[in-house]
Structure 1
Amino acid sequence: MKQEIYPDEYLLDILRSVKTIALVGASPKEIRPSYSVMAYLLAKGYRVIPVNPGQAGKEIQGQKTYARLGDIEEAIDMVDVFRASSALPGLVGEVLALTPLPKVIWTQLDVRDEEAAARAERAGIKVVMDRCPKIEYARLIG
């Protein structure tokens, strides 16, 4: 899919179908955007699993934090990325090593890598880049 245009139906389908979200780059600091997005998604009923190597084994918002995606012991529907664009190629490699594969990789505002997105899409994973699920949820679902 052309990465700058996402039909509302595409985003709605994702937001309505995913249940478990791995939030890569989760922060325990309330001033960080990842903290408020995680709180919002939890409040909307999603299971949110924080991923942050510096916080592994600790809790963020009452959820056990993992060092990396491969350490999570349950299936993930979506990976929400709060990392720099330069981290996406390696992160997509981590995602492609998961069994089962997540349905979606969603990258936050200003996070883009067309080649990494194409690699994920070739594996059958939907990709949303440069968008925030909190913003899109509020806009589309309320």
Structure 2
Amino acid sequence: MNQYSPEIASILGASRTIAVVGLSAQSTRTSYEVASYMQKHGYRIIPVNPTYAGQQILGETCYPDLPSAASALAAQGQRIDIVNVFRRSEDVPPVTEQAIAITCPCIWLQLGISHAQAAQQAQAQGMQVVMNRCIKIDHMHWRSQQRLTPKGLR
């Protein structure tokens, strides 16, 4: 998906829980800023970062990996809708494998992050893949489009 698309609108509209892989506890980091924005707009943020495992980030328990996070959410009757990745491109394949293992419907690689083979692997498993895009920017665009759309036409 290269430009803002109906698929991105669908992902953002249908999702409620975002696992942020590589989320930093430092408020000056981009991952924190983006996750905080998404949380303020109604999404539940699940931090995933082995450095901060067991600690709180944005009021949520941080998990060392996606399977741990998914297991904890399943115990609450919830699931991860989007795996949002803030890791180097070369670190994407193991994250993708974990996202597939937990049957997450979408993996979203932030700006500057892409991995064609991992994307193909995820798509082959039925996942939606967004690469090299900022979820915050796309959410801001989506919200502005919703405000411009008359209620009767949605």
1:91 to 78, 95, 115: 95
Q: Mapping of 1:30-49 within 5 angstroms?
A: 30-49=27-46
**Percent same amino acid at aligned positions?**
37
Higher Cα Rg, which structure: 2
Closer, same or farther: CA 124–6 of 1 in aligned 2, 3 Å: farther
CA contact (8 A) 2:4 2:138 kept: no
Pairs aligned (count): 137
Q: Matches of residues 34-113 of structure 1 in structure 2 within 5 Å?
A: 34-72=31-69, 73-74=72-73, 75-98=79-102, 101-113=103-115
User: Equivalents in 2 of 1:14, 1:57: separation in Å?
Assistant: 29
Alignment of 1:108-123 (within 5 A): 108-123=110-125
Comparing both chains, which one has the higher relative contact order based on Cα–Cα distances under 8 Å and sequence gaps of 6 or more?
1
Partner in structure 1 of residue 147 of structure 2: none
Closer, same or farther: CA 6–122 of 1 in aligned 2, 3 Å: farther
The one-letter code matched in structure 2 to 1:76 is I
1:8 Cα offset (Å): 1.8
> TM-score, normalised to structure 2's length?
0.86
Please tell me the residue identity of whatever aligns with 2:132.
D
Paired AA for residue 95 in structure 1 = A
User: How far 1:141 moved relative to its partner?
Assistant: 1.1
More helix by share: 2
Letter in 2 for 1:91: V
TM-fit CA distance, 1:21: 0.6
SS at the partner of 2:132? coil
User: If the length of structure 1 is used for normalisation, what is the TM-score?
Assistant: 0.93
Please, which runs of 5 or more residues in structure 2 have no aligned partner?
Answer: 74-78, 145-154
Distance in 2 (CA, whole Å) between partners of 1:33 and 1:9 is 26
SS at match of 2:6: helix
Amino acid at match of 1:54: T
Task: Find the aligned partners of 2:29 and 2:4 in 1 and give their Cα distance.
Answer: 28
CA displacement at 1:48 relative to structure 2: 0.6
Helix, strand or coil: the match of 2:28?
coil
Consecutive aligned runs of 4 or more in structure 1 exceeding 4 Å deviation: none
